[in-house]
Amino acid sequence: MKKKDRKKQMVLSFTGFLAGATVFSMMMPQKGFSATENRYLKKRPVFTVEGLLDGSYGRDYETSLSDQFPARDAWIGIKVMAERAQGRKDVNGVYFGKDDYLIEKFDTEEIEGEQLDKNLSWVSTFAEKAEERLGEDRVRIMLVPTASQILKDKLPLLAAPYEQSLVAERLAEMMGEDGQSLLVPVEEMLAAHGQEDIYYRTDHHWTSLGAYYGYRAWAESVGITPWEQDAFSIQMVSEEFLGTVSSKVNLPHKPDSINLYLPKAEPAYEVFYDGAPEPAPMYSYKALEGKDKYAVYLDGNHGLTEVRNPGAAEQEGEERKLLIIKDSFAHSFAPFAVNHFGETFMIDLRYFNQSPQIFMEEHGITDVLVLYQIPGFSQEKTVSKLIR
């Protein structure tokens, strides 16, 4: 067979394969959620003439075809193996680091831009107004760097991820000399403990130990005496955690362990999610049976979480109420912070639509912490709700 004919046959075969896979995917039931990737999948859009004319139907259909492609998980793994064989340092936005670390890569264009500029302005305005209302050492902002910033010794040779400290530096510059005290020096604290297990190897979150050091940095910055580690019993609740970063590469990998820090003299916590009338446990052990084991912390994402700790006022010598405006990095942080407050409220602006400032007035908030991981904060569109 001539070379030209072989090439033509390969093209036709591949085209036929794609066409067959497309038809097959249309016949198969659509998946709503990918446990492997821990996200909702795009379903086939409903056809409309308007959508066809403005191009939205074609774009949505292309996305749904990718998400609903037969054996999608297996193809992701094959793609990753092929790209690794080519010697790439990162695949699907993930570095294959030392000591079995999978570390998310973030480039400049993924963090810097118009959305980050807006978010820095909004959080700065909110924090300054909150401090005027609540007083000195009652308001803090904690922007947490991810593993690529702290665990640089784990990165492949010549890896050059975005320098996340630039975000905190920009915020400090924007807030001026008087406002810089509002920023928690969390990067310094984490860097000092970078040889410890402060980030999961397969997930984008910090571990309970990493969250503990974040708690220490925050507590010390506001004049609260943090609990020492020996005040907690450490309980390993899972050795089978494969997190969000491992889902990006979809290859067999050594799983993480999840450790919970339980106070030895456990307070009488009462936890309420989204205004539920009955209290729930601090930890959702049922989540350990599924893919998203990180949801063991405070039952995952909720618009509003309230933790009551009646004994805190006696211990701290005053009645204080903490509001944490947060993403999921706060879920493993909050179990430490709640030990110092009679009530702790956590709001996730993605699911909470009331004005945070009105909420503060209605609930007698005395202290505020804004806690986000840096890459997520840079792209989060709901930060604008802070200044409603």
Residues 6 or more apart whose Cβ sits within 8 Å of residue 224: 316, 340
Residues 189 and 280 in one domain: yes
Per-residue pLDDT reduced to its tens digit, 230-241 = 999 999 999 999
Task: Determine, yes or no, domain membership for 92.
Answer: no
pLDDT-based confidence at residue 20 (cuts at 50, 70, 90): low
Task: Determine, yes or no, domain membership for 219.
Answer: yes
Per-residue pLDDT reduced to its tens digit, 123-174 = 999 999 999 999 999 999 999 999 999 999 999 999 999 999 999 999 999 9
Range(s) of the domain holding residue 29: 3-73
pLDDT-based confidence at residue 12 (cuts at 50, 70, 90): low
Q: Are 246 and 202 in contact (CB under 8 A)?
A: yes
Residues 13 and 126 in one domain: no
Mean pLDDT of the region 240-258: 92
Percent of the chain with pLDDT over 90: 70
Task: Determine, yes or no, domain membership for 87.
Answer: no
Cα distance between residue 233 and residue 227, in whole Å: 12
Cα distance between residue 145 and residue 100, in whole Å: 20
Task: Determine, yes or no, domain membership for 85.
Answer: no
Residues 43 and 138 in one domain: no
Q: Record the tokens describing residue 14, joined without a space.
A: 């591949």
pLDDT-based confidence at residue 181 (cuts at 50, 70, 90): very high
Extended beta strands in the chain, E state: 33-34, 39-40, 90-91, 94-96, 102-104, 139-144, 232-241, 256-263, 270-273, 304-308, 321-326, 343-347, 367-373
The pTM for the full model equals: 0.82
Q: Are 21 and 70 in contact (CB under 8 A)?
A: yes
pLDDT-based confidence at residue 23 (cuts at 50, 70, 90): low
Residue 297 vs residue 249, higher pLDDT: 297
> Does the pLDDT at position 80 exceed 70?
no
Residues 116 and 63 in one domain: no
Task: Determine, yes or no, domain membership for 86.
Answer: no
Classify 294 as helix, strand or coil: helix
Residues 153 and 255 in one domain: yes
> Does the pLDDT at position 3 exceed 70?
no
Residues 68 and 106 in one domain: no
Task: Determine, yes or no, domain membership for 89.
Answer: no
Mean pLDDT of the region 357-366: 98
Indicate the angle between helix axes 330-337 and 208-221, nearest 10 degrees. 60
Residues 324 and 187 in one domain: yes
pLDDT-based confidence at residue 56 (cuts at 50, 70, 90): confident
Residues 36 and 115 in one domain: no
Alpha-carbon torsion, ordered 190, 224, 373, 91, to 10 deg: 20
Structural domain count of the chain: 2
> Does the pLDDT at position 78 exceed 90?
no
